[in-house]
Amino acid sequence: MSVNLALELAPDTLRQDVLAVVGNVLDDCEATWASDGAGGLHTRSHGRELVDELRRWFAAEGKMLRARFCRLGQAAAGAPPDGDVVQLGAALELLHTFAIVQDDVMDASVVRRGVPTTHVRFERMHCESGWRGEQRRFAEASAVLVGDLAHALANRLVGELPASVRTLWASLCQELVLGQYLDVRGTAAGADQVGYAESVALLKSARYTVSRPLQLGAALAGAEPCLVEALGRFGESLGLAFQLRDDLLGVFGDSDLTGKPVGDDLRDGKPTLLLAMTTRRASDDAVPLLEKIGTPGLTDEEVGAITRLCISTGAVREVSARIERAVADARDVLETASLAPAVSDSLARLADDVAWRHR
C-alpha cells in the first residue's frame, strides 16, 4: 500500500484525471468522424453537435461519485492509483451521462444540474433553425443518440481492461437497464408497494452508484472474492441510503442546490419508498389527493399538501430512519472488512456525504 494514500484518494485529483481521459476520448471520436471521407463536412459539423453536448455535461460539475467509489475499491485491494482506474472511472462517468440524458427524456425533465437538459437544447435548435417535423420527436431522438454515444465510448474504454472487469461491467449495464425499466413501468402503473420501491432503489441506484463501482475497482486490482463480496454488501447498504436521500431531496430539497425542480417526482408519480410509505399510512380521506400523484397538472398547492402528508403520516421520519440504518449497516461491513485505515476512513466519510447530502 502506498504511504501517500490520503493524497492519492483526493477527489479533486481524480476528477481532473477523469476529465482528461474523457476529453481525450471525445477528441478521438471527433477526429475519427472528421477523417471519415464518406461523410465529409456533414460528418464533421453535425457529429460535433453530439460530442459538444457530451462536453457540456462534463463541464457541469457533477459529483463523480462512481469514479470515486471505483478508486476506493482499488485502494481497498491494496493497489496504488494507475491509469487503468482513471480509465475505468471515466467509463463510469460516461455511462452515468448516458443514463441521465436518457432518464431526462423518459421523465420529460427540463433542468438538471441547474442547466437545460439535452432534449430541451435540441428542441430549441429545431425551433430556432425553422426545421420541419415535430420538434419534440427530433429533440428526444437526438438526446437518445447522445446517450448512445456516451455508452459506446464507455464500452470502448472498458473493452481494454481485464476480463474480470468486463464481466462486472456487463452486469452493471444490465442491472441499470432493468432498474430504469422498473422505474418507468412503476411510474406508469402507479406502483406503490414498498417492496417494488426497494427493488427500483437497489437496481437503479444502489448497485449502479456504489456497489458495482467499488467492485470494479477491486477487480481491477485483482482482489480476492471475499473482499469483492464485502464491498458489494457495503455498497448495497450505502446505495440504498443514497437513493432514499435522493427521494427526500426530490420532494423537500432546495432546487437551487439540487439543480432540479422540486416536486417533479410527485408529478411523475415515481415509485419511491417515501410515496409507498405515505400511501400505506394515509387515511381514507387522503386517497383523492394521493390519486393525483403522477399527473402533470398537479398544482403547487397540491404538491404542498402531499409533502405535508408525507410528514404527518410519519413516512419522512421512517425514510430518514432507514437511511440511518443503511449507513450503520454499511459501517458494520467496514468494521469486519480488514481495510487499510485510510481506505476505511475515506469510505466512512463518503458514506456520510452521500447519505446526508443536500444536492
Quickly count: other Cβ atoms within 10 Å of residue 330's Cβ: 24
pLDDT at position 37 over 80: no
Q: Estimate to the nearest angstrom the gap between the alpha carbon of 212 and the chain centroid.
A: 12
How does strand 111-112 pair with strand 115-116?
A: antiparallel
Q: What is the mean pLDDT of the chain?
A: 90
* Cβ atoms of residues 303 and 289 within 8 Å: no
pLDDT of residue 5: 46
C-alpha cell at 135: 420538434
* Cβ atoms of residues 316 and 248 within 8 Å: yes
Among residues 140, 58, 120, 138, which one has the least CA distance to residue 95?
Answer: 58
pLDDT digits (tens, 9 = 90+) for 59-74: 877 789 999 999 999 9
Residues 39-59 as b/e (b if ≥16 CB within 10 A, e otherwise) read eeeebeeebbebbebbbebbe
- Kindly write down the DSSP assignment for every residue of 121-184, as one continuous string: HHHHHHHHHT-SS-HHHHHHHHHHHHHHHHHHHHHHHHTTS-HHHHHHHHHHHHHHHHHHHHHH
Among residues 86, 323, 78, which one has the least CA distance to residue 206?
Answer: 323
pLDDT of residue 250: 86
Give the architecture (CATH level 2) of 5-355. Answer: Orthogonal Bundle (1.10)
Among residues 105, 103, 111, 104, which one has the least CA distance to residue 208?
Answer: 103
pLDDT band at 2 (very low <50, low <70, confident <90, very high): very low
pLDDT digits (tens, 9 = 90+) for 228-271: 999 999 999 999 999 999 899 989 877 777 777 778 888 888 89
The pTM assigned to this predicted structure is 0.91
Provide the Cα torsion 24, 223, 155, 178; round to 10°: -130
Number of helices (H) and strands (E) in the chain: give both, helices first: 18, 2
| Rounded Cα gap, residues 255 and 114, in angstroms | 8
Cβ within 8 Å of residue 48, ≥6 positions away: 30, 33
C-alpha cell at 171: 452486469
Residue range 9-38: average pLDDT? 86
